[in-house]
Structure 1
Amino acid sequence: MFAAVASGNPLQLSTEVPNSNGLQHTIVLSSTKPKTYSHITLFILPNVTFPENFIATVYFKLSPTEDFQLFGYLATEKPSAIFKVRLANADPRRQATADSGDGLGEIDMEDEDVAEGTSNGLHNISELIIGISIEPREQGMATMQQWKQQQQAMKASNSSLVLSRPGASRGISTVGQLASVYPVLTQQLAAKIVQHAYNYLSGFLDSSGNVSIKRFDSWWEKFRSRLANDATFLDEVTSN
């Protein structure tokens, strides 16, 4: 009735769970390739007529010993969903971090057990189990609504622990917005960058007063690296 495919791996069909009062179908995505994929697509098979008065709630877990966690649903109006696998380095908890009501959920796979299977800095997920429960629409949507409220409460709790970045309260997310809010500082920043480039490149002028583009590329790489490490060096840039 259902199928799933992970990035770079073959399609895998669901298996019915006999005599089950809970999950009626499961899909096991096992290690056909090292699991460094970032997306899982789950869908109702094209030849299946899914009843309109039911929905299929979707659950995930990483091993048979773990508990399933809810991440979304499928229905006649939403016969497929894409779930993003986020292999985070900072948060040791496994949880849904995005609302999947629009068909896109996000699964945080990071924890101590997964970290033991890392290779070259990337996590190898040996097995991922999808559980699917077919429920009456009213009951299933009530479950989804409760899950969304829990996710919103979790986000609100987490956001209260995060310091806002300068400018975030003003909604600054682009260079143009930055220049509009801080026009003088933006002009000063541009002048500092241009002066820094001039100071560096002027040491490589040829007899005609030209500079090879390779010298510019070299300056840009060094500038970006230094900017990432300590941007305060720009305060010391002066004209020669």
Structure 2
Amino acid sequence: MFGCVVAGRLLQTNLQQVDETHAYFELSGASTINHISVFLLGTVPFPEGYGASVHFYWPGKGFQLLGMLSNEKPSAIFRLRGNFTSSATNTANPNAFTPAPAENSTSDVVAILGLAIEPLDQIQVQVSGLPTAIVKSTIAQDVTRDATLMAERVVKHLFNYLSSFVGSVPGGFAPDVVVPVGMIAKWYDSFLSKVKTGGIGFLERDES
């Protein structure tokens, strides 16, 4: 009924049933997990008025409610790294899922992704308490940081390109130099060609 994909890994369908309303996936190498996607396989829908709450269990830290699935929302992506919080407000019963194996030095941590089939109204109450604003804020900050870094690299690339034609004077570049529009257009065409050919890796190498 369910499937999950840890970013960078193969699809998991090895769902382990605990009882009629609880099941789980074992997630090996949990310390390297960043994002995980959970979804319905489309073979068996939820009964009318039911869905599944999704929980993440980290050995020694307890359960954390991640979100939910329903017939109207058959898939979801969750960010795990840097976003684990105390399970004090989680309504999941830890005994509903089989405990994960203990941590050891050879296999890393094995965590659990638990799914509990419950009435939708009960799930909505649980999900309404999630700190979604904090999560969205964190994601927005990451996007802004990446966009700022990219903008800085593009501007630096343009500056290096133009300065190779303008030349310099002792102590720095010549002030108030007029740059022909055609020169910027030439840079633009060359820049797009490099991006289409090999991506943006050249920006990290400070190529002009």
Given the two structures, how large is their TM-score scaled by the length of structure 1? 0.45
What are the superposed Cα offsets for residues 170-196 of structure 1, whole Å, 9 maximum, x if unpaired? xx9696xxxxxxxxxx9xx959x8389
Q: 1:137 aligns with which of 101, 120, 136?
A: 120
Change in CA separation of 1:85 and 1:197 when aligned onto 2, cut-off 3 Å: farther
Change in CA separation of 1:26 and 1:221 when aligned onto 2, cut-off 3 Å: closer
Kept in 1, the 8 Å contact 2:64–2:84? The answer is: no
2:37 corresponds in structure 1 to: 41
Over the residues paired in the alignment, what is the CA RMSD in angstroms? 4.6
Distance between the aligned counterparts of 1:30 and 1:137, measured in 2?
Answer: 30
Tell me, yes or no, if structure 1 residue 127 matches structure 2 residue 110: yes
| Deviation for aligned residue 1:24 | 1.2
Kept in 2, the 8 Å contact 1:8–1:37? The answer is: no
Q: What is the letter of the counterpart of residue 79 of structure 1?
A: P
1:233 corresponds in structure 2 to: none
| Deviation for aligned residue 1:10 | 4.6
Listed as ranges, the matches of 1:149-228 within 5 Å are 150-152=131-133, 194=163, 198-199=167-168, 221=205
Q: What is the letter of the counterpart of residue 36 of structure 2?
A: I
Change in CA separation of 1:144 and 1:196 when aligned onto 2, cut-off 3 Å: farther
Change in CA separation of 1:30 and 1:190 when aligned onto 2, cut-off 3 Å: closer
Question: Gaps spanning 5+ residues in structure 2: where?
Answer: 87-102, 170-203
**Per the alignment, in what secondary structure is the counterpart of residue 140 of structure 1?**
helix
Kept in 2, the 8 Å contact 1:12–1:29? The answer is: no
Listed as ranges, the matches of 1:60-139 within 5 Å are 60-63=56-59, 65-86=60-81, 94-95=84-85, 126-139=109-122
Q: 1:27 aligns with which of 25, 35, 49?
A: 25
Change in CA separation of 1:37 and 1:51 when aligned onto 2, cut-off 3 Å: same
Q: What is the letter of the counterpart of residue 68 of structure 1?
A: F
Distance between the aligned counterparts of 2:27 and 2:61, measured in 1?
Answer: 15
| Deviation for aligned residue 1:9 | 3.3
Question: Gaps spanning 5+ residues in structure 1: where?
Answer: 97-113, 118-123, 176-185, 201-219, 225-240
| Deviation for aligned residue 1:72 | 1.0
**Per the alignment, in what secondary structure is the counterpart of residue 24 of structure 2?**
strand
Distance between the aligned counterparts of 1:42 and 1:145, measured in 2?
Answer: 19
4+ residue runs over 6 A deviation = none
Highest RCO, 1 vs 2 (Cα 8 Å, sep ≥ 6): 2
Given the two structures, how large is their TM-score scaled by the length of structure 2? 0.50
Q: How many residues align?
A: 145
| Deviation for aligned residue 1:62 | 2.1
1:3 corresponds in structure 2 to: 3
2:51 corresponds in structure 1 to: 55
Q: What is the letter of the counterpart of residue 78 of structure 1?
A: K
What are the superposed Cα offsets for residues 43-101 of structure 1, whole Å, 9 maximum, x if unpaired? 223221212301201011222x4311011110001112222343x5xxxx7249xxxxx
Percentage of matched positions with identical amino acids:
27
Distance between the aligned counterparts of 1:130 and 1:53, measured in 2?
Answer: 23
